Structure 1
Amino acid sequence: MMDVRSNGAGSVVTTGERDKIQRDVRAYRLQRVQEQLRQYDCPAILLYDPVNIRYATDTSNMQVWAGRNPARYVMVFADGRIVAWEFHSSEHVWDGLDLHVELRGAKSWTFFNAGHEAENRAQQWGAEIVDVFRKYAPGERLLAIDRLDPFGTAYLEKEGITILDGQALMETARLIKSSGELVLIGESLRTAEKGIERMRRELRPGLTENDIWAHLHFENIRNGGEWIETRLLASGDRTNPWMHECSSRVLKEGDLLAFDTDMVGPNGYCSDISRTWLVGDGRPSDEQRKLYEYAYAQVHYNMDILRPGMTFREFSEKAWKIPEQFVKNRYCCLAHGIGMVDEYPSIAHMVDWDAAGYDGRFEVGMTVCVESYIGAEGGTQGVKLEQQVVLTEEGCVSLTDCDFETDWL
């Protein structure tokens, strides 16, 4: 594993080096999908999720819109063959890619596109899907699919197709990052850091939460980023409980301000960093410092124990023990995978294990976000922290140098 700070995530590369990295990443990701198909003895997968399509083919077309409107889809075969049904007049998004692709026009049968003809359109869609599948995988019946509406599912099953959960297959494929992916992740993180620096520089009483949040969007778009998945920025009493999205609330001297970037940046990779700051030039109160101390301890203790080979349950059992007054408002997970977006796994707190936990094992090459939220039930403020890391043979290595408020400790 490379040194992810000096030679990997965060390194400056030439145009020629970057082109080679992108080619290598493209080949690696397609190979990961093929490996999963072979492991499941499945000849092909049909992809609708725009993030999965991006992972497998490195094509992007109106990602957020396509997430709501299933208007492009791709079938990837275990032998590497790709058949892509592209949105209207958008074949150009495939230009310059060294892929064996057969391009066709997409058929959309959502109510928006088809109205009361949706079922008939779905049958036309299904006939073509079955024809392509049987052409390139003769005699096969098992097809993995990551997302599909009821009409489509019913048609394929009627035609004798057995459907496999393709989302599980793709999440597993996306689990282990190559050294080239770490470089691309680093470019996204450097963009997020620029946005965070800009937010910090502009932070002052009298601005609104929306004013501050806009600076992250500005730097993301300016540097070739794509979108931000949430609006998780809150100040003052809106920091407790967590999950308030940013608003027109005016920042006041002495407020805590907390945020979670959830930023899909350059190359389609997510930068997921949470920090909590003080508004104004004063010093944090004793309560604010104590909340921060707990959150900082939780993140760094859990980073210190996180190792490849550890099971998810073992990590949950050994994790930092949240003081009783903060358990009710705990964050929804201890840690989660990260790549193009939040990814498998999501590690449940031990108190939630029976209801939400599942086991697995941490591996070298996984990228993970270690989480903390500390805010007392019925309290008026809270602290949110999150650090993005990669697992190496030696343990857990931070992928960002974004500062913590260590002078509060």
Structure 2
Amino acid sequence: MSRILDMARSVGNPDAARRMAAEGGVTIPPLGLDIKARIAEIDETRMRHDRLARLRAELKKRDYAGALLSDPMNIRYATGTRNMAVWTMHAPGRYAFVATEGPVVLFEFGSSKHVSAGSPTVDETRDATPWFYFLCGPRVAEKALVWAEEVASLVERYGGKNRRLAVDRCEPWGAQRLVERGIKLFDVQEPIEQARMIKTPEELKALQLSMDVCDIAVDRMRATLAPGITENQLWSILHETNIAHDGEWIECRLLASGERTNPWFQESSNRTIEAGDIVGFDTDMVGPFGYLADISRSYVCPGAKPKPEQKKLYELAQEQVLFNIERLKPGLSFREFSECCWPVPEAFVPNRYMMMIHGVGFVDEYPSVAYVADWQDWGFDGRFEENMVVCVESYMGEVGGKEGVKLEQQVLITANGAVPMSRSAFTDAIGLE
């Protein structure tokens, strides 16, 4: 564990950055990143082509004629285009057909086709035929039939006799129409998650850029943390920093303080943070180019020294994350990792985090690595590979305990092991030294 410990300590400690403003407010540090220059360093066209090639290779491996994508994460991966991503997560009127051997056809809202114009990985853009109730009302069945005819004709044209189509989200009445047209439906998540698991060179640059933005946000949050600020006010700094650096959204609202840190998964609130409170958060930040920066930090609000119990919780969580990072290497199976990972003390098992490791790309991705104790219910095997990006998780809080500590580190798996991507204070950040 010494290699990871030294690496983590080398990033420094931003305690001195805290400043209180004259009238009880706080001074938020400047942004400090030339985002335009950093974006220019990434070859987005190459990134789009590389991703599409990986997806097509997975489709071909499974003998699919193509893929029909409605999930905005999958559309982004395959086409490189973005349009109202959060809205289309619940209003799926935008979709793409990716032929395994043939064109990429993007079905875009007619009034916004200009938004995705010029994508180097989209061969044709057509008006979408939305068939959800908000836009269609009582004409859902009619529009679903039109939609199915459009999709089926593409499968027939570019798949020939192969009618095997991989899909992600498809309401039952639409799926029924495709089946009636002789299309065989399969789950696209397996091939696309396998494609997304290994990151291309440009994706790794984009992921690091997103993490660099996240680190700035975390440093600004820590410098701003002071008695009297609310959880929501502190949480807003992450959003503001992300958007100012061409980021996109935050997946969750996971920031809690004091007794709200146990159990975990409390969403940020208007609670006023007090001196000596533990403040924990999980960034879940979708940053520039749509890539995730997912780290968790826990600090003690200034004005009171960390209590012995707080230090104990932090030490345990820190040890779990650092120990497990040290275990990661290419070729290790998920099951082998589960069997050699850090043993959670019995008192903390009931409230442990739901998984030890999960993949990272646009959002949380395959794989999710379960504890051995959960293997029968949730576990599945596979192998860690070079150029995977994963998050190593820990939560320490006893059932009925006053507070808890959440820590998480995002790492790149290299030929020589796992390397943390974040430089924000982690080791001894609660004041253990």
- TM-score, normalised by the number of residues in structure 2: 0.89
Distance 2:121 2:323 in 1: 44
Distance 1:303 1:19 in 2: 29
Distance 2:36 2:266 in 1: 41
User: Is the contact made by 1:337 and 1:366 (CA closer than 8 Å) also made in structure 2?
Assistant: yes
User: Is the contact made by 2:255 and 2:267 (CA closer than 8 Å) also made in structure 1?
Assistant: yes
Q: Deviations over 1:359-385 (max 9, x none)?
A: 111111100000000001110100000
Distance 1:14 1:210 in 2: 29
Distance 2:84 2:122 in 1: 23
Structure 2 unpaired stretches of 5+: 1-32
Q: For residue 40 of structure 2, what is the aligned residue in structure 1?
A: 18
Alignment of 1:202-217 (within 5 A): 202-217=224-239
CA drift of 1:96 comes to: 3.1
What is the identity, as a one-letter code, of the residue corresponding to 1:364? E
Cα 1:15–1:291 change in 2 (3 A) is: closer
Deviates more, 1:226-235 or 1:116-125: 116-125
Q: Does 1:326 align with 2:340?
A: no
Distance 1:300 1:85 in 2: 45
What is the identity, as a one-letter code, of the residue corresponding to 2:381? D
CA drift of 1:112 comes to: 1.1
CA drift of 1:405 comes to: 4.8
- Select 1:143's aligned residue among 165, 170, 173: 165
Corresponding residue pairs, total: 399
CA drift of 1:88 comes to: 2.8
Cα 1:85–1:17 change in 2 (3 A) is: closer
What is the identity, as a one-letter code, of the residue corresponding to 2:279? L
SS of aligned partner of 1:251:
coil
User: Is the contact made by 1:330 and 1:372 (CA closer than 8 Å) also made in structure 2?
Assistant: yes
- Select 1:41's aligned residue among 63, 79, 86: 63
Alignment of 1:339-378 (within 5 A): 339-378=361-400
User: Is the contact made by 1:145 and 1:164 (CA closer than 8 Å) also made in structure 2?
Assistant: yes
Give the aligned CA root-mean-square deviation in angstroms: 1.6
Q: For residue 7 of structure 1, what is the aligned residue in structure 2?
A: none
Q: For residue 164 of structure 1, what is the aligned residue in structure 2?
A: 186
What is the identity, as a one-letter code, of the residue corresponding to 1:69? A
CA drift of 1:267 comes to: 0.6
SS of aligned partner of 2:111:
coil
Q: Does 1:408 align with 2:432?
A: yes
Distance 2:406 2:121 in 1: 42
Q: For residue 69 of structure 1, what is the aligned residue in structure 2?
A: 91
Q: For residue 286 of structure 2, what is the aligned residue in structure 1?
A: 264
Q: Does 1:251 align with 2:251?
A: no
Distance 1:124 1:400 in 2: 48
Distance 2:122 2:309 in 1: 60
SS of aligned partner of 2:43:
helix
Cα 1:36–1:263 change in 2 (3 A) is: same
Q: Does 1:284 align with 2:306?
A: yes
User: Is the contact made by 1:277 and 1:405 (CA closer than 8 Å) also made in structure 2?
Assistant: no
SS of aligned partner of 1:184:
helix
CA drift of 1:80 comes to: 5.1
Q: Deviations over 1:151-185 (max 9, x none)?
A: 11111111111111101111111000012111111
Q: For residue 6 of structure 1, what is the aligned residue in structure 2?
A: none
What is the identity, as a one-letter code, of the residue corresponding to 1:192? C
Q: Does 1:153 align with 2:196?
A: no
Q: For residue 8 of structure 1, what is the aligned residue in structure 2?
A: none
Q: Deviations over 1:255-286 (max 9, x none)?
A: 00000000100110000010000011332000
Distance 2:261 2:78 in 1: 38
Structure 1 unpaired stretches of 5+: 1-10
CA drift of 1:408 comes to: 1.3
Q: For residue 173 of structure 1, what is the aligned residue in structure 2?
A: 195
Distance 1:225 1:307 in 2: 30
User: Is the contact made by 1:71 and 1:106 (CA closer than 8 Å) also made in structure 2?
Assistant: yes
Distance 1:171 1:281 in 2: 46
User: Is the contact made by 2:48 and 2:121 (CA closer than 8 Å) also made in structure 1?
Assistant: no
Distance 1:190 1:398 in 2: 12
What is the identity, as a one-letter code, of the residue corresponding to 2:354? C
Percent of aligned pairs sharing the same letter = 45
User: Is the contact made by 1:141 and 1:162 (CA closer than 8 Å) also made in structure 2?
Assistant: yes
Deviates more, 1:133-142 or 1:248-257: 133-142
Q: Deviations over 1:200-248 (max 9, x none)?
A: 1111111110010000000011111000010000000000000000001
Distance 1:29 1:342 in 2: 17
Q: For residue 198 of structure 1, what is the aligned residue in structure 2?
A: 220
Q: Does 1:242 align with 2:273?
A: no
Distance 1:250 1:287 in 2: 22
SS of aligned partner of 2:63:
coil
Cα 1:367–1:82 change in 2 (3 A) is: same
Distance 2:222 2:80 in 1: 33
